[in-house]
Structure 1
Amino acid sequence: MLDKSQIITGLLEVMESNLRRQFNANKNASDGAINAESRAETKWDTCGLEASYLARGHALQFKQTAAQVDELRAMEAQSFVGKQIGVGALVKVDSDGETMFFFLMNHGGGTELKLDFGEVTVVTPESPVGIAILGKKQSDRYE
């Protein structure tokens, strides 16, 4: 069995890096929104308003990513041997002689992790691959 903790750690590193970037973007946007240069000079000047919308968007995205990171930190790797594929499952897919690994998660879809045993792509239950594999069992076929 492959070590899922390696995958969770790798995904956590990527998401924490995103969180730091979002924090900096949020800080810059917030500073821009309250900067004296953003103050409206005429009633048609919307620079300050636009900056405040941007700051709010960054703040919401930061909050969402922080919650996702907390959820990932609390996650414990579980075995899906003999069970239906669900969130937290590592799925090995053999297709036309090529082996691919997918890690089904609620967050982080599209993230590719290069690990000792190969490349793992994180997919969400809403993605096309996630929809195809969710609920399947070992040796099941999917289209």
Structure 2
Amino acid sequence: MNKADILQRVIDRLNIDLDIARRAAQTAYEAATHEENIAENKYDTLGLEASYLAAGQARRVEEIRQALASCQNWTLKPFDESRGIQTGDLVVLEADNGQSQYLFIAPDAAGLKVHANDTPITVITPRAPLGQNLLGKAEGDLVEITINGARQSFEVTRVM
């Protein structure tokens, strides 16, 4: 797998998400400002609810725009064994049950999922608990994290 290809897939996905979010924000804004949504009494809250939705959609557009800018303005570097895992690395973790997962550590866009060669790759950031635990690690190292009160252990099986 090629990290540059994965980063481009993340950028492409963010562009799609941004377009969808912009259209949703515009629709919510139009609903909030439409003359039929003017409150006729104190119990008529349709316009108020629409304005809350419009504000939330506008925040979502801004979050995606910032994530997109972070990814577009970021330079990938090859994995440096002396520094260990850093932002920009593609990491393969294996759980105790033998199941593997691919993680791409990006500057933003946490939680985004992309596919490369029919393999799902989850984007995480160094700010996430798992991302923090991975920084500086190398192949063969163990990483532990608590998820919903349960301690889980993963082995770093590959870093690209």
TM-score by length of 1: 0.84
Structure 1: unaligned runs, 5 residues or longer? none
1:31 corresponds in structure 2 to: 30
2:3 corresponds in structure 1 to: 4
- Cα distance, 1:117–1:22 mapped onto 2, change above 3 Å: closer
The one-letter code matched in structure 1 to 2:73 is: A
Contact 1:22 1:58 (C-alpha < 8 Å) held by counterparts? yes
How many angstroms does 1:69 deviate by? 0.6
Using the TM superposition, name which of 85-94 and 48-57 deviates more. 85-94
Matched residue count: 142
The one-letter code matched in structure 2 to 1:56 is: A
The one-letter code matched in structure 1 to 2:61 is: F
1:71 corresponds in structure 2 to: 70
Structure 2: unaligned runs, 5 residues or longer? 145-160
Listed one character per residue, the Cα deviations across residues 53-98 of structure 1 (whole Å, up to 9, x for unaligned) are 1111111110111111111111111122211322222113345655
- Cα distance, 1:45–1:131 mapped onto 2, change above 3 Å: same
Please identify runs of 4+ aligned residues in structure 1 that moved more than 6 A.
none
Bigger share in strand: 2
Instruction: Name the % identity.
Output: 29
Report the RMSD for the aligned CA atoms in angstroms. Answer: 2.1
TM-score by length of 2: 0.76
Bigger share in helix: 1
How many angstroms does 1:117 deviate by? 8.0
Contact 1:22 1:62 (C-alpha < 8 Å) held by counterparts? yes
Say whether 1:134 aligns with 2:152. no
SS in 1 for 2:101: strand
1:123 corresponds in structure 2 to: 124
How many angstroms does 1:142 deviate by? 2.0
